[in-house]
Homo-oligomer: A and B are copies of this chain.
Amino acid sequence: MTDHIYKHIEITGTSPDSIEAAVGAAVARAHRSVRHMRWFEVLDTRGHIQDGRVAQWQVTIKIGFTLEE
Please list the residues of chain A having a beta carbon within 8 angstroms of any beta carbon in chain B. 1, 3-16, 18-20, 23-31, 37-42, 44-57, 60, 62-64, 67
Residue numbers in B under 8 Å from A14 (CB-CB) = 3-5
By secondary structure, the A interface counts as: strand
Residue numbers in B under 8 Å from A25 (CB-CB) = 3, 5
Q: Tell me whether A45 and B41 are in contact (CB under 8 A).
A: yes
Residue numbers in B under 8 Å from A42 (CB-CB) = 45-46
Q: Tell me whether A20 and B54 are in contact (CB under 8 A).
A: yes
Residue numbers in B under 8 Å from A46 (CB-CB) = 39-42
Residue numbers in B under 8 Å from A47 (CB-CB) = 23, 39-40
